[in-house]
Amino acid sequence: MESLALSVLVVLLAFWLLRLARARLSKFPLPPGPPPRLIIGNLADLPTIKPWITYARWSKTYNSELIHVQALGQNIVIVNGLAAAIEVFEKRAHNFISRPELIMLRLMNWDWNLGLMPYGPRWARHRRIYESTLRKESVMKYEDIQTSKIQDLLQSILETPQHFLRHIQTLTAAFSMAAIYGYDIKSMEDPYVDLADKSVAMLSASIFPGALLVNAFPVLNRLPRWFPGTGFKSFAEECNALTTRMRDEPIANIKRRMAEGTAPACLAVKLFEEHSIKDSPEPVEEIVKDVTASTYAGAADTAHSAIRTAFYCLASHPEVVRKARAEIHHILGTGRLPLPSDQPLLPYLEAVFREVMRFYPAAPLVPRAALEDDVVGGYFIPKGTTVLSNLWAITHDPEMFEDPDEFRPERFLNPDGTLNNDSEDRIFAFGFGRRICPGRHLATSFVWTTIASVISVFDFHPARDEMGNEIPVKTEYTDGLVCHPKAFQCALVPYSKEATSLIDGSLHDVNESYSMGA
């Protein structure tokens, strides 16, 4: 056992020395960053809590939008500014289009996911499928599902306002499952939703640099299970089983319904009927499994984060709710809820939506990988470097957004109330270049319509404690691949009897009960 451990140590040391030597061969310097230690590099410096905030602070410390760290020989460059992001991810998109090839993704059975897939022919095929089925003009096909599920959200909040956070989570899962698989869920206890939530949570724990040693040194996967430090194998096997079921079971259900002639229109059915997919070198069913599961994994959790952020921002700024509702009533009247097609008519509400998306991006750090050696801004980026797009740093740059920690929709408006240039088709939370979120049009429509509908009928008030004192609206954000506001308290009350009738025409007596997030 001692000889095996010594052999492993020698291999790791040689691997680290080769990477270090190669990075220093260039005549250009690496980007600045914390000084590395022998062998482990900056492993001890990598933050484990909200790393995007620490990385943004490093940019100020070292006066550079590009920051370099090294963990066990793996080069990592963090892109903390808009100018650098455009240079790296848009102007040099051909070199920074890939994702890091992490062995844990394969071990956990997540390597089929388009968002995590390295650049290559398979990624290109799947990306084309996404763009053809989720392009902007196709979003209208999902409008009926959106409005139906949002109506369910409003009704649920009216009936049990104390569970409004749970209702938001149910909304995003229900819309995603209906639009993708034609499957109707009633609660978060649904087995398909439970499978996806558990699998995504395990993925989130294994994706960031330094999260698991085996990602830096794939040779560790060859060690026997009894060897110290190989607990990742059991973790990966558990996730693999969940992810396999997450991909397979909803598709088995929709295939059965297609055979019975009872399948509703949804993304899965559309994909099975696509002639271009049938001509692909991959089996049709495998493509449908990959695309639908990727869509669900990428949509439900990020939409949940965005809508939860919206509720938090609106609860802490009731004056924004009143102003947005006044615009809705002035333009649309009081007799109906807003529809996705109303978005261009409501500039202030659009500013609210864009400020929600800026306030805290659902995925603050997004990884890329350098396909070849490159020089950006006079700094050397070696082939194979993990390049992190720090979307949080970009959306909180005080030179772009004054007082970035404040929720202020007016930053997207001109003095005359029209949208300014900062809001023209640029939401940084969706990413950059050829890796920009392919589902951004559907996400925009869904999140915007949800925000608009809630504002149309509900007032946000502070919750009160047992003594009747107001409870401040405050929260923190979770860590991980996708971040959410933690539970917070507020009161949601229909603003009028007319609002109640928009939610449910059979209900006219509304008890102004205070709600607490669950």
Reported as a single tens digit per residue, the pLDDT across 112-125 is 999 999 999 999 99
**pLDDT tens, 209-237?**
656 677 777 777 888 888 877 888 898 99
Is 93 in contact with 374 (CB distance < 8 Å)? no
Q: Please report the DSSP string for 213-254 in residue order.
A: HHHH-GGGGGS-TTSTT-THHHHHHHHHHHHHHHHHHHHHHH
Q: Is 81 within a domain?
A: yes
Q: Are 473 and 316 in contact (CB under 8 A)?
A: yes
Coil, strand, or helix at residue 207? coil
Residue at 511 is within a domain: no
Helix, strand, or coil here: 25? Answer: coil
Distance CA 84, CA 62 (A): 15
Q: What is the average per-residue pLDDT within 433-437?
A: 92
pLDDT at 7 over 70: no
Structure tokens at 56: 């943004």
**Percentage of the chain exceeding pLDDT 90:** 65
Parallel, antiparallel, or unpaired: how do β-strands 374-376 and 379-381 relate? antiparallel
Question: In 393-407, which positions are buried (b, 16+ CB within 10 angstroms) versus exposed (e)?
Answer: bbbbbeeebeebeeb
What are the residues whose beta carbons fall under 8 Å from the beta carbon of 25, sequence distance 6 or more? none
The answer to whether 66 and 56 have CB atoms below 8 angstroms apart is no
Which amino acid is present at 118?
P
Distance of alpha carbon 485 from alpha carbon 472, whole angstroms: 15
Does residue 510 surpass a pLDDT of 50? no
CB 311 within 8 A of CB 359: no
Closest CA to 367 of 240, 481, 214, 219: 481
Q: 430, 440 in Cβ contact below 8 A?
A: yes
Flag whether 517 is in a domain.
no
Say what the pLDDT of residue 15 is: 53
- When divided into structural domains, the chain yields a total of 1
- Asked if residue 512 belongs to a domain, the reply is no
Look over the chain and give the mean of its residue pLDDT values, rounded to a whole number: 88
Q: Place 282 in a pLDDT band, splitting at 50, 70 and 90.
A: confident
φ/ψ (deg, to 5) at 201 = -65, -40
Report the C-alpha gap between 400 and 391 in whole angstroms.
Answer: 13
Going through 296-418 in order, the beta strands assigned E by DSSP cover 365-369, 374-376, 379-381, 386-390
Instruction: Give a yes or no: residue 465 inside a domain.
Output: yes
- Is residue 445 within 8 Å of 436, Cβ to Cβ? no
Q: Are 68 and 18 in contact (CB under 8 A)?
A: no
Would you state the pLDDT for residue 139?
A: 84
Q: How far apart are the two ends of the chain, measured CA to CA in Å?
A: 50
Whose tokens are 């998306």? That residue is: 357
**What does the alpha-carbon distance between residue 384 and residue 300 come to, in Å, rounded to a whole number?**
31
Cβ-proximal residues to 484 (8 Å cutoff; 6+ apart), any chain? 304, 305, 308, 309, 477, 478
pLDDT of amino acid 483: 92
What are the residues facing 70 on neighbouring strands? Answer: 75
User: What pLDDT does residue 280 have?
Assistant: 76
Confidence of residue 22 (pLDDT cuts 50, 70, 90): low
Residue in 80, 79, 78, 31 with CA at minimum distance from that of residue 398 = 80
The answer to whether the beta carbons of residues 89 and 389 sit under 8 Å apart is: yes
Percentage of the chain modeled with pLDDT above 70: 90
- Rounded to whole angstroms, how far apart are CA atoms 286 and 256? 16
Q: Give the other-Cβ count within 10 Å of 462's Cβ.
A: 16
pLDDT of residue 19 exceeding 60, the answer is no
Q: What is the CATH number of the domain that holds 272?
A: 1.10.630.10
CA max distance for the chain: 78
DSSP characters for 319-360?
A: HHHHHHHHHHHHHH-SSS---GGGGGG-HHHHHHHHHHHHHS
Question: In what helix (H) or strand (E) does residue 203 lie, and over which residues does it extend?
Answer: helix 191-204
The whole-angstrom separation of Cα 148 and Cα 225 is 50
Residue 508 maps to a domain: no
For 470, the token pair is 């107001």
Tokens in use for 1? Answer: 């056992």
- Inside any domain, residue 203: yes
Q: Is the pLDDT of residue 47 over 60?
A: yes
Coil, strand or helix: which one is 478?
A: coil
Residue 516 in any domain: the answer is: no
Q: Are 254 and 210 in contact (CB under 8 A)?
A: no
Q: Residue 487: what pLDDT?
A: 93
208 pLDDT band (50/70/90 cuts)?
low
Range of 18's domain?
Answer: 2-503
